Structure 1
Amino acid sequence: MIQKKFRSRRFIENLDGLPFPLRVRYKGVGYHLGFQRPLGLVETSRGCPFRCSFCAVWPFFNGTYRGKSPERVVEELLILSDPFVLFVDDNFLADPERSMEIASLIKRKGLKKYYTFQARSDSIVKYKDLLKLWKEIGLKAVFVGFEGISDEELLRLNKRLRVSTNDQAIKVLEELGIELWASFIVEPSFNLEEFKNLRTYVKSRSIKNASFSVLTPLPGTRLFEELKDKIISNNYELFDIAHSVLPTALPLEKFYEEFCFLYQEVYSAGELIKEGFRAWIQGFPLKGLLKMLLSAKRLSSPSFYLKAYDLNTLRSLSFLSPDRAS
């Protein structure tokens, strides 16, 4: 039964009291992150103390941040059979002392796994020694939301960061031998030069794992309140951060040509096939490999995005002033 009206309730204060996930349900499903498999997902905290305007996480949790105790986290890791672990926290280093305690406890227990988590670039720069410890116990990669390549973009998004900090984080991770998975936001107002600048930034920093999303005013966010009068579709299937629900400066077809070109520049077909073959030799299932290659093909194909729009939505996409598209 679908509730017609949402009623908020009190948050669970002690997350340690939550039961362990019933992982037997997905046994054999074959979750993976890139070629990391089998992959187990572990939640150690909920919420985020920062206030990025586009993010739905902190409004969802009403601005709170709560973490499980290090003992509870490691207890779950000890019964997890998967060799690769993705911590699904939105900001794993939000409480650096807790992160340090988790790492120290993992080390004392002699737990051998490979870890990936999400963190802000300023935390990476500030807590380099903490990253060093995590590297020692198996940290393989860090997801970092760079989002913008200019201080003006970051200010608009209320990231409370500077591009120079993002650049420092790249160097820290490179020095420590930790993979960087960087995400960037493509604004619907982008013109050809801004797309080119983003491609240049990614290539000049040698970022090998990059993802791109379209700026989307998700309901409940500050961005939604700012831009709700400009939204051109109420079809929530388009609110997937891959489809623009705001007018684009470029004609939509050209916008997605440029969007796909970002992926084409970062991921060459030859490299993907070479990495895939290497993973297959090491035991990665052929079925999973073919699915990944198909996904890569879709991400770099404009028609994959354009087919989601109905005719009425396309008609309502009134472009911005011509000078923005140049």
Structure 2
Amino acid sequence: MKIILIAPVHRKQNFKRYFQIVPLNLMMIASLTPKDCEVEVLDENIDTIDYDSPVDLVGIGANTSEINRAYQICSEFRKRGVPVVIGGIHASALPDEAAQHADCVVIGEAEGLWEKVVVDFRKGTLAQFYQHQSFPDISKLPQPDREVLNSKRYLTKNVLQLSRGCPYHCIFCSATEFFGNTYRVRNEDQVIKEIERLDGDFMIFVDDNIFGDPGYAARLLQKMIPLKKKWVSQCTLRLADNSKLLNLAAKSGCMGMLIGVESISKDSLKASGKSIKFDRYKQMIQRILDSGIGVDGSFVFGFDNEDTSIFERTLEFIVKIKLPAATFSILTPYPGTQLMEKLEKEGRIIDRNWQHYRGTRAVFRPAKMTADQLEQGRAWIKQEFYSYLNIYKRVGFSGDYRLYLWLYNLLKRSGTTKGRRKKADNPHGCTIYQGLFA
């Protein structure tokens, strides 16, 4: 029996495809598949799908921005009589929609369900839906099958997940709806064994909050120190308040963290469900930077209290504190989130093309600016933040990881190509904002 597992394309095919990370979800599903099955993993960001290749069953995992393409792939295989199983965050949030395009929908986490899917398929009793009654125990997850992919085509194949679930209640977060509010962790000794088997010294932990259980994280980091690895992940600003954990993270080789700063607006933070006060942001970010750990601050624009001034005020703040890197997104009401429920009730959803649900398009009607102003403002701040002058002001030329930070900033700058051909409009209609550069 042959099974093909597919990751749909999620970005335009430009040079950034050479900086892909491996699809951990499909590598994990491959490891759950019975050993007498032939498994092929196709990452459409790199591979080309041969729809006429002999195959018995196809599995597809997709998030919301990838789901349209996933449905197209489903259609092509089903035309040829090949059954398709679909799963992932979007299909789990809208299983009835997904069932219109696939033969079977896996709702929620695959562990414990995928094995049953394969058994039922072999017996000819494949059900339309598979779902856990409770969130699965991940303490003894098998290691992902890293041999099913050609690792030379990726930035790294050393991608790991330690935990699932998040105790916080951010209104725009789909991960919490998918993984739940209970923080679950893998056995730390098994994680260490997995790390020891990895080739190379660089790792990416894809946890939504790697420090959700501080005690567990501290024990794991202590065991990682002798391994002399370098790694990145994401967490909350609360790391700054735990000096022991911060010190262990630095000693264990942490190079940088993606941190959900979200907004400089107190009202926006309150609306999003964040409890950290903005007044402490500068101090907390600086404390993390002083430990030798870089910060990529994630900012979201489009909350109801925000007008177009939010872009200039945010830029002024993050350049002033010399934030090493930043990620700028538009508030997006993903299916299944509190935000989607709220905006649907208010009749403010203006775009239901799932391909646009990637944080770069305004798919709802903002309260204090137009959708165009929201999109232009996001493009403008990204262009200004990643100008050569501002990269120099924030990063400089000396210190730990400066080469890494320059390369990272230049890679992020590449996304402003369109803006360089035609300068992004300042949200206030100005040609250029001079105040920051005086």
Tell me the TM-score range normalised by the shorter chain.
Answer: 0.7 to 0.9
Structure 1: how far apart are the matches of 2:336 and 2:313?
Answer: 31
SS in 2 for 1:28: helix
Give the TM-score normalised by structure 1.
Answer: 0.78
Judging changes above 3 Å, is the alpha-carbon distance between structure 1 residues 292 and 163 closer, same or farther for their aligned structure 2 residues?
closer
1:239 aligns with 2:357: yes
In 1: Cα distance, 2:294 partner to 2:409 partner: 21
| Paired residue type of 1:297 | T
2:255 equivalent to 1:140: yes
From 206, 216, 220, the equivalent of 2:332 is 216
Q: What is the CA deviation profile of residues 15-40 of structure 1, one whole-angstrom value per residue up to 9, with x for unaligned ones?
A: 24322112221411222xxxxxx462
The 3 A distance-change label for structure 1 pair 240 and 302 is farther
Which stretches of structure 1, 4 residues or more, deviate above 2 A after TM superposition? 5-8, 10-14, 164-168, 188-192, 248-258, 269-273, 288-296, 298-304
Q: 1:175 and 1:197, CA in 2 relative to 1: closer, same or farther beyond 3 A? A: same
Task: Find out whether 1:19 has 2:142 as its counterpart.
Answer: yes
Aligned to 2:21: none
1:113 pairs with one of 218, 226, 229 = 229
Q: Which runs of 5+ in 2 are unaligned?
A: 1-83, 87-97, 100-104, 108-128, 396-402, 425-438
- Cα distance in structure 2, aligned partners of 1:238 and 1:98: 37
Greater RCO between the two (CA within 8 Å, min separation 6)? 1
Give the distance between the partners of 1:28 and 1:271, measured in 2 at CA.
Answer: 33
Give the corresponding residue for 2:383: 264
Deviation string for 1:77-96 (max 9, x for gaps)? 11111321111110111100
- Residue 428 of structure 2 corresponds to none
- Whether 1:83 aligns to 2:201 is yes
Q: CA deviation at 1:132?
A: 0.8
Report matched runs for 1:223-234 at 5 Å. Answer: 223-228=339-344, 229-234=347-352
How far off is 1:302 after superposition? 8.0
Change (3 A) 1:41 1:303: farther
Aligned Cα root-mean-square deviation (Å): 3.0
Q: Counterpart in 2 of 1:295?
A: 415
Residue 57 of structure 1: CA displacement?
Answer: 1.1
Question: TM (normalized to structure 2)?
Answer: 0.59
Cα offsets for 1:283-314 (capped at 9, x unmatched):
xxxxx99987643425777899xxxxxxxxxx
Query: What is the distance in 1 between the residues matched to 2:330 and 2:220?
Result: 34
Whether the 8 Å CA contact 1:84–1:115 is kept in 2: the answer is: yes
Which structure has the larger Rg over C-alpha atoms? 2
Unaligned runs of at least 5 residues, structure 1: 32-37, 276-281, 283-287, 305-326
Q: 1:268 is matched by which residue type in structure 2?
A: S
Aligned equivalents of 2:285 and 2:410: distance in 1? 31
TM-fit CA distance, 1:207: 1.0
Distance 1:82 1:263, change over 3 A: same
1:111, distance to aligned residue in structure 2 (A): 0.5
